[in-house]
Structure formats: structure tokens, C-alpha cells
Structure 1
Amino acid sequence: MSTIAVVGGGISGLAAAYRLRRLLGAGARIVVLEAADRPGGKLRTGSLGGVRYDVGAEAFLNRRPEAVALLREVGLGDQLVHPSGARSTVRAGGARRPIPGRTVMGVPAEASVVRELLSEEGLAAVEAERRLPPLRLDGRDAGLGGLLRARFGAELVDRLVDPLLGGVYAGGVDGLGLRATLPALASAVDAGATSLTEAAGVSLPSAEFVDSTPVFGTLRGGLGVLVDRLVELSSVELRLGCPVRSLARRERGWRLGGDVPLDADGVVLAVPAPAARRLLSDVVPVASAAYAEVEVASVAVVGLALPPGTELPPASGVLIAAGERHADGTPFAAKAFTFSARKWPHLDAAGPVLVRGSVGRHNEPGALRATDAELVHLIRSDLAELTGITAPPVDSVVVRWGGGLPQYGVDHLDRVAAIERSVAAVPGLAVAGAVLHGVGIPACIATADRAAAKIAADLGSAGSAGSARDVG
């Protein structure tokens, strides 16, 4: 019987464990080792005001196939739900306005769509982008902030692109690279688009696709339902509170060091960049060095259950541009609010009105230094400034994600290629997770499927690997 160790019990690790079970059958021993006291990683469904509520990732990109396909495969397709259609807004330039359509993460296909967000000067800069000298990348990556400011001016970047990307990566646009964060635009330029406006135009999905396919999806009972189902169907040996401190090659297979060492025939590493760097430092130093170059951001989620009947704005939420301030000059602590009761029809029922505030930007700890009680106070103050809502919550929750979001900087794809190329050459070892090809749930599932396929192929080509066992 082969033993496979999956290090990391987030969505990437659990999806890999599930796929390994499907590929290897009931005879394989699959051990998931998770440092935290619960599985799921950034998928966490708790209780807020007596309602099941996601306090980590709240949704997935429905327009990618991996998450929807997995949900249906594990029998959760009937729990799939989509947003209400209420528009999101952005607070920028001291005002809150709807986020415009026909943009690629804020890069407009035509200047007219961002007219309401910009000053006359800012709009003129966007209109002029098409007339700038033709954009050429020649296969290189580019710093996103510098490129966009050079092409569009600062106002579009600060008021729209930066808040949108900050909502995905918890990082400012100046720390991100074009090819990893906006690959469709880079591909369009490589294919001959001479401006970013033109690149956005050719990258937008068709109107038919937009009308027929919701952008996001989630589960009626919270994404924790998926966590529980994957644990159940993968029939894993789940070890919680069990950090892996070292990884070493054996004559056949691997030894994982920790409080209870484990010998395994195959290993999937589905952990954040700092842990991957440490575990691979001796066995795959090239991959370890590449992981070391990936910076991470810390964030917090503050959930508020407001009294029944509290009237929310007619929007799904609001992004808050960096530098925005209250009327008295106080900076906002939050980078975004989700008006959950407006966004998700299944949460818009009689009972508490649920709202979620997000805190934290890369290299800007700011409000994250506050205690939980202080964070709740700051978020309530921000909410009052934005909406006028001052009612005390009937319940609240604060969940912190330290180092939880990788930053996709310039040349990130080169780092990922180095990781995958070096690990591919090592039998019985695979990697998965948000560092590689996207921070969203579908992208993580895709890396998990590839990692499981590699381990299964490696074990098959090695023949009978013999039995691994606990040692020590």
C-alpha cells in the first residue's frame, strides 16, 4: 500500500487528496497534515447572528470551470447559488459611484465607460491612450502600476484599477506584474494590440457569454460544505495541529519531520510560499529560491450582523481606494465592504442583516495592528461614513489571515516556471496552491488536479513502492 502525504489542508490540499483517492483507489493511504486546528484554509464557514456565513473566501469565479465541475462531481451542484445582480461600487475621489462595465479589472475598452469616475483631466488622459506610441512588450513582463500610469495617467489607476486589484490580491497595483495579474491584456498586446484600450476591447467576453454566465458563485450553506465533502469523500487520515517542519529524501520516498514523523512514497506540498520555501530548501533548492521571491500579504475579515430591518445601500458592496478619508480626515481602515444581504439572495431573509468588511493591504499593516474589538469599532465607523448606518451589531466576528495572499509581482510567471520545472524532475513530489496560477478557488483546484496526476503517474511508473509507516 502506498502512502501519500498532502501537506496543507486548504482547498488546494483537500482537492489534491480527493483527486488522489479517485486516481489511486481505496488501497492508498492518504494523510493530510494541517498546521491549523481545522481543515479548509481560507475556506471557513462560521456562524454570524445565527446564520452560516463565510469569513474567509466568500465565492469563486463561476466563469472558470474547475470549481463548478468539482461541486457537481461531489454532489453539491444543487447548492450552487449566484449573486443577486446588484452592482458593486467604488469610493474614490471622495464619492461613491458604480463600478463601470466594459473594463478588464478597470482597464477600459473605451474611455466613455469611466467618465463618471474621473475628472475632465483624468478622462482626457484615458482618451489619449490609444494615440500614444504603440505599446510593445517583446515578451517581457512589466510593472503594472508604472505601465498603467504611463499610459492612462494616475487617476484611473488610483480610482479604479488599484481598488479592484487590491480586492483580489490585497496588494497595490505598484507591486504587481502585468503578465500574472492581467494575462489577457498581455496576450492581446503580444498578438498585435497597440494600446491597452485596444487590448481590453479584444479581451472582453461576448455579450452573450456575459448575459448567460454569472461572474461568481458560492454554496448556499457556505463554502465549508465543500471542505467537509472533500474530507469525507477522500477518506483521508486528517492530522490537525500537525505542522511539517522538514522534508527529506529517503532511499525510496520521503520523510516528513514533525511531532509525529511520517514516511511517504509521494508528497504534495499545498502550503503558502514561506512554508514551501523552507520545506524545499534542501531537496529542491531552485524551487525553494523561487518561492522565497514571492511576497505575501496579511488580511482580516470583519463580519457584522446588523439588526433586522437595517436598510443597506442598493449595491452589492463598495471598494475603497487607497488614501480615501472620512470627512474629518480620518483614513478608512477597510479596503472593501460586501453588503452580503444585498449581494446574495440566500442571505437576504428575515433576520440579521449581514455585512462584511475587509482590512489589509500588502506592506500596509495599518488597522491590522488593532485588537479585534478595535477592528470592529473601526469597521463600524467606516460603514457609518459610507452609508450612514450606525446601529450597533447584534453579533460580530473577526478572522485574521496572516500571510494568506501571495503577491504576483513582475516576472512572477518566470518564478512559477522555475518551481514547476524543478519539481517536475523529482519523482514523487508535486506542488499546488495559490502561489502558482491564480489566487482564486478554481485556479487552486486546477493546480491540485495537476499535482495529484503527477503523483499518481510517478507512483505508477515506480511500480510497487512498498509500505510507508509512521516512525519515531
Structure 2
Amino acid sequence: MREADTGTGAGHAVVIGGGIAGLAAAHRLLDGGRRVTVLEASDRVGGKLLPGEIAGVRVDLGAESMLARRPEAVALAREVGLGDRLRPPATATASIWTRGALRPMPKGHVMGVPGTAAALSGVLSDEGLARIERDADLPRTEVGEDVAVGEYVAARLGREVVDRLVEPLLGGVYAGDAYRISMRSAVPQLYQAARTRTSLTEAVREIQAKAVASRQTGPVFMGVEGGVGRLPLAVAESVRARGGEIVTGAPVTELRRVTAPAAGEGSEAGTGAPGDSPDRAHAAARPHPVWRIVAGERVLYADAVIVAVPAPVAADLLSAESPEAAAELRTVEYASMALVTLAYRRSEAALPDGSGFLVPPVDGRTIKASTFASQKWGWIADEDPDVIVLRTSVGRYGETEILQREDADLVDVSRHDLEAATGLDARPLATRVTRWTDGLPQYPVGHHARVARIREHVAKLPGLAVCGAPYDGVGIPACIASASAAVDQIGGDLRAVQELTAHPVQSLHGGAGE
């Protein structure tokens, strides 16, 4: 084991994790003049943002879009030179496959919760619509410190609203169960409105009125020509160009708070340092606690560390210095899923209009959604006009059997459901299955309180912060906002992290009834 040539000192920060949160943190750290090292366990950066190709066409094999009504992701894309490649969806018209037919996705709702019964006409039964009308006459339903989205909405409007619309919309973000997901963390604007209103439909209309008053314009979501998976690659390129170091294939096995070694001292393993840096000489002259990070054969010392990895990995890293934070992190559950990407000859594959469809679990189908990628993103259609690309997603929280099947089986069940929904019976030119095992952290009731406890414990350790999807929202803007707050925290400014802890970033837009 050797001492890293990055040295020690107040100018060095180490980011553990090379997903979009870790890369965004590194990018912002460089704004403050620090020397930055990013350590990524896998052989690539980007995490759940993964560019790929099928039948010669570039596609996303992970997340494909980012919320544009939040500024963080779009701003970062522009900062790293992707501004001229930002693209809105070519169509925002979607469907929901329920009760045996593809039906237009309703408008006039917030995450599936309607402002009026009429907004869900065509999706709900007559009985379901009538149940919504009773909301105005019901006594107040207390939400307390937190409540499950499904539980609260079902109490006010009936289960059919949850099962047919709220569930598939939330499932598209968290692959979770609406009857477990925290309203405070997943739909914070709805939670805040529900605390002050008796009628849920009235609360939704209030949210919609505020959205109109704020005059939100422009696309709700945004993509990147060539795929959103290009974003982390561009951020990594910018980090390196500005002097930051990114090391892949470097899983961190130890994170400890120690006293900086004196100049010329070897590592704990007894090997010599490759040379004294100015930072090492400074540390020797004024000994102070620093962070010691072990990643394979490398040993690094830094005054600041940002941990931007999944909760189980973060728990292992923090177990020595903050067993309390580690214990909380070990309670975070994850859902696994798989994306099935299929390419067809355009002459053989006719699809309905729109960007795709969602599938309520209550309908008993295997797939939970399908995206008509060539219709949603104009740049995919432009790359090869003779090829149509679409994808399906399978797997939700608690579902294990389906994800144990072979890739060919997942392709077969996807094709079966696609034919039932759209009539598509052609044989694909090519297929790809991308598995995201434990890919999506779950936000159950009480998640906000758990995050507050984790950060309270972490704050006791100077120069340490956490960020990423386990905390403040699973969407790309949420992860970038979390990274920015972590950078502020190690700089001594806790305002952003406190705001995020109290008010997480909603990961799916619903305020304007899109």
C-alpha cells in the first residue's frame, strides 16, 4: 500500500462515488479552488445514467430525461458545454394502459391526484368518479408528521384513484408502492397543501392556481441529444480539464479520521511516501485531524470528504466513525428493475401516437411502462429514420421473481405485453436488457426524519458530508441539488442542506397538471 501523491491539507477534497451526484459535487468543489479527487468503484462514471446503442442508434440505457422545471440539471448541462444539445421531448402526449385499453393520460392532476373528478374521466369507473366527489363532504384527514401517499389519497378520494393513476406515476419514479411511499418526501407540495386544507381536491386546485400564477413556461422535462447519459461524461471531462482527478476501479475500503502524518512518514502499511508535497509539509508543521481514505493500493489524505454512494455502501464506509449514521443508512431499502430496449424496422412496426404509456399494477401486467423512444426524442428518429426504438420497464419494490428470469424471458414478456397494448407483433431487429439491481432507494413514511438523523450524526464529523439519491430525491436535479448542499456543508454553510432535509426535491413534476 502506498501513500497517494495527492498529499494532504486544507486544499484537498475527496469525493467517494462517480455518479451524477459525486461528479456534480466535484465540479462545484473546483469552483472553490480545492484540489479534488473522485474515487469510483466501478469501471465507469455516471451511475444510473448510462449511454448505449441499439441497431446502430444511440440510446439511454438508464434514466432518459431530467426535470426542467428545476434549474439544477439544465444549468449543469449548460456549464459543461451541453447547452446546444438540450432537447425537449418531441411529444408530451402519453397514455395509460388500464381496464383493457390505452387511454389518454389525464391532465389537471398533481401526481395523479385530481382537482376535480372530471379530470379522471375515461380512466376511472363511474363509481370511482363518484367517490372523488365525496371528498368535499368528508371531515379533515390529519397527515401528521408524514403519511403514505396512497393511504391519504385513498382515504380522501378512494382506492381507484391510487390504483389506476397515482400508483403507476409514482412507480415510474421509485419503482415503489404508493401505499408505503412518503407523501412528505415524494410529493412535498401536496403534503404541505394537505396540512392546511380539509378537501384534497381543493388543495390540488390551489397548487394548480399557484403554478399558473408563477407562469411556469417551457418544457417540463428535457433530454440531451445522444442521451442523458452524456451528461455525467461531460461533467467528468470538465472536472478533469480543470485539474480534478477521477479514478475508476477504485472501491474505497476504509474511511477514518486521523492525525495527518508528518512529512516523509510512510503509510500505516509501512511503505514510503512517493515524496513530500507542500500540503504534506504544511500538515506536518501544523498537525490536525484529516480524513484517511484507502482505495485499493492508494491511501489518500484530505481535509474534506463527500460520500456520494448508495446507502449500504455509505453505511459500511461510515461504520467506524459514525456508527449511528451507518445504522440509519442500513435501514434504507431499494427496489430493483430492468429496462428492455427493442429496435424494429419502421416498415414493420406501427405504434400509437405519443411518447408511451404507464401500466397500473392492479391490471396484472408484467411491464410497468413503455417509452416510444423514437417518438419521444426527435434525435433518435433522426439517427436512423428506418429504425424505431422503444423500451419497457419491469420490476417493482418487492417483486423478485420476474427479475430472476433470463434476459430472453424478459424480452418475451415485454413483447407479449406490447402486443396486447398496441398490436405490435413484429420481430425486433435487436434487443438489450439492462438490469438495475437495487437501483432505486425507497422513500417510506418517515424518510425525511431518517435523513435528518443521518445528517445530524454526519455533521458531528468536520469535513464530512453525504449526498445523492438516498436523501433528497431520486431525480437528476435532486441529486445535483444534494451535491451542491454537501459542498456548502463542508464549507461551513448548512443552510442548503437544512432546506433540502426539510423540503426534499420532488422528482416528478405534477404542479401544473401535466
TM norm. shorter chain > 0.5: yes
Q: Secondary structure of the residue that 2:96 maps to in structure 1?
A: strand
- Distance (Å, rounded) in 2 between the aligned partners of 1:353 and 1:118: 32
Q: Secondary structure of the residue that 2:193 maps to in structure 1?
A: helix
Aligned amino acid, residue 392 of structure 1: R
Residue 230, structure 1, aligned to residue 238, structure 2: no
- Distance (Å, rounded) in 1 between the aligned partners of 2:203 and 2:315: 36
Deviations 1:201-244 (A, max 9, x none): 11125347677221100111212322222112112322222222
Among residues 305, 308, 323, which one is paired with 2:362 in the alignment? Answer: 323
1:264 maps to 301
Residue 365, structure 1, aligned to residue 373, structure 2: no
Instruction: Indicate conservation of the 8 Å contact 1:20/1:456, yes or no.
Output: no
Instruction: Indicate conservation of the 8 Å contact 1:129/1:152, yes or no.
Output: yes
Alignment of 1:339-378 (within 5 A): 339-349=372-382, 350-378=385-413
Q: 1:189 to 1:220 in 2, by over 3 A?
A: same
Aligned amino acid, residue 304 of structure 1: L
Deviations 1:75-116 (A, max 9, x none): 211111001234111112222211111111101111110121
1:12 maps to 21
Alignment of 1:28-427 (within 5 A): 28=35, 30-137=36-143, 139-190=144-195, 192-204=196-208, 206-207=211-212, 212-235=217-240, 236-251=244-259, 252-265=289-302, 266-309=304-347, 310-325=349-364, 332-349=365-382, 350-427=385-462
Q: How much is the aligned-residue C-alpha RMSD, in angstroms?
A: 1.7
How far residue 424 of structure 1 moved from its aligned partner, in angstroms, is 2.2
Instruction: Indicate conservation of the 8 Å contact 1:89/1:99, yes or no.
Output: yes
- Mean Cα deviation higher: 200-209 or 305-314: 200-209
How far residue 288 of structure 1 moved from its aligned partner, in angstroms, is 1.7
Aligned amino acid, residue 173 of structure 2: V
- Distance (Å, rounded) in 2 between the aligned partners of 1:187 and 1:302: 37
Q: Secondary structure of the residue that 2:14 maps to in structure 1?
A: strand
Segments of 4+ in structure 1 off by > 6 A?
Answer: 208-211
Deviations 1:48-69 (A, max 9, x none): 1111111101000011111111
How far residue 382 of structure 1 moved from its aligned partner, in angstroms, is 1.4
- Distance (Å, rounded) in 1 between the aligned partners of 2:30 and 2:334: 31
- Distance (Å, rounded) in 1 between the aligned partners of 2:59 and 2:232: 14
- Mean Cα deviation higher: 216-225 or 431-440: 216-225
* TM-score (normalizing by structure 1): 0.91
Q: 1:393 to 1:209 in 2, by over 3 A?
A: farther
Larger radius of gyration: 2
Aligned amino acid, residue 106 of structure 2: P
Instruction: Indicate conservation of the 8 Å contact 2:253/2:295, yes or no.
Output: yes
Deviations 1:239-265 (A, max 9, x none): 222222232211221222342242231
Among residues 441, 445, 449, which one is paired with 2:484 in the alignment? Answer: 449
Deviations 1:334-385 (A, max 9, x none): 1100011111122223131010111110011232111112211221111111
Instruction: Indicate conservation of the 8 Å contact 1:270/1:433, yes or no.
Output: yes
- Distance (Å, rounded) in 2 between the aligned partners of 1:133 and 1:263: 60
1:437 maps to 472
Instruction: Indicate conservation of the 8 Å contact 2:164/2:362, yes or no.
Output: no
How far residue 391 of structure 1 moved from its aligned partner, in angstroms, is 1.2
- Distance (Å, rounded) in 2 between the aligned partners of 1:430 and 1:440: 19
Deviations 1:101-135 (A, max 9, x none): 11111011111101211111111111111211023
What's the % identity of the aligned pairs? 45
Structure 2 residues not aligned, in runs of 5+: 1-8, 260-288, 494-514
Q: Secondary structure of the residue that 2:152 maps to in structure 1?
A: helix
Deviations 1:2-27 (A, max 9, x none): 332211110001111111112125xx
How far residue 454 of structure 1 moved from its aligned partner, in angstroms, is 2.6
Structure 1 residues not aligned, in runs of 5+: 326-331, 459-472
1:22 maps to 31
Aligned amino acid, residue 415 of structure 1: R
- Distance (Å, rounded) in 2 between the aligned partners of 1:121 and 1:142: 25
- Mean Cα deviation higher: 140-149 or 61-70: 140-149
Instruction: Indicate conservation of the 8 Å contact 1:333/1:378, yes or no.
Output: yes
Deviations 1:258-284 (A, max 9, x none): 422422312110011111122112212
- Distance (Å, rounded) in 2 between the aligned partners of 1:23 and 1:300: 39
